[in-house]
Amino acid sequence: MPHDPVPASPRVVVLAGGLSHERDVSLRSGRRVAEALRSAGVDVSVHDVDADLVPALVETRPDLVWPLLHGASGEDGSVRDVLELLDVPSLGTGPRASRVAWSKPIAKTTVTRAGLATPEFVTLPQSLFRELGAGRVMDAVVAKLGLPLVVKPSRGGSALGVTLVRTAEELPGAMVACFAYGDTALIERAVEGVEVAVGVVDLDGSPVALPAVEVVTDGPYDYDARYNPGRTEYFAPARLPDDLAARAAETAVAAHQVLGLRHLSRTDLIIDADGQPWFLEVNVAPGMTETSLFPQGAEAGGHHLPTLYRRLVEAGLSGR
């Protein structure tokens, strides 16, 4: 079906906030994107996810909604389901593909079937530890996967509840930290190598990778390291040979396509000493703060952020 022409000054509602553990990050992302869009001639308002949202959308009927919500409800597809119910166009991945990407075990299984490499893992609910005995289950995990391990909630972002486990004695504490943010843990074999994040933009139906951003920290790349300047050093573009940079880009684009993502995404990878990119997870609503990886990759690729964000809005409005 033909789409209406894109208005000269489209009316866009940026959704930011919500009630997840990542609320503060979402608010910062929303403010920065709104400022960039305004400078590009877009009529922008920022709205929280609260009891006033549905009436406001019904009354104002914006041209487009850009969900910049991180964590539960923002990335699990549920808010996007509501937008579809209201027949309000939104930027980004649709609700069904969002649900697949939001679940790290399902996303990892999906990309593996498409031939991408991902670290071996198990997914265990907290209830299983109580029923079978935590000690026995953890012994089995270490015997099967070895050490070091990474423990993380099976859903969620911003590295909340994520721990690098180098000894068996560290595993119980890592499980406690993980279960503070979700009732199911993903435990995967830790891969040593260069940690990179690769953004993908899909402006005309053909996804294109942004330059990889390399992440170097003074410890684990946890929540504090991600959002408080000083603890982490970024290299954009990543310090990779051309062939490895190309492999990282191909992996991110393949994940974007296999998972059915749209408009923008960010894939997190580890590139090992043999040059193999390992898929860790994908984000359908990447952070857009001053230290976030997606905008760093965009700028490294020569994009002017206000122009890029407006082009993403136009892609959403045109139905591409």
Write out the catalytic residue numbers: 22, 158, 227, 266, 268, 281, 283, 287
Residue 305 in contact with residue 37, Cβ under 8 Å?
A: no
| Burial class of residue 262 in the structure, from the number of CB atoms within 10 Å of its CB (0-12 exposed, 13-18 middle, 19+ buried) | buried
φ, ψ for residue 144, nearest 5 deg: -85, -50
Length of the chain: 320
Tell me if residue 133 falls in helix, strand or coil: coil
Task: Please compute, for residue 146, the number of CA atoms within 13 A of its CA located in the half-sphere on the CB side.
Answer: 5
Token pair in block for residue 94:
């649709």
Treating both helix axes as pointing N-terminal to C-terminal, what angle do 78-85 and 95-102 enclose, rounded to 10 degrees? 180
What DSSP designation does 90 have? B
Query: With left for phi above 0 and alpha for psi between -120 and 50, is residue 146 left, alpha or beta?
Result: left
Question: CA-CA distance, 102 to 265, in Å (whole number)?
Answer: 12
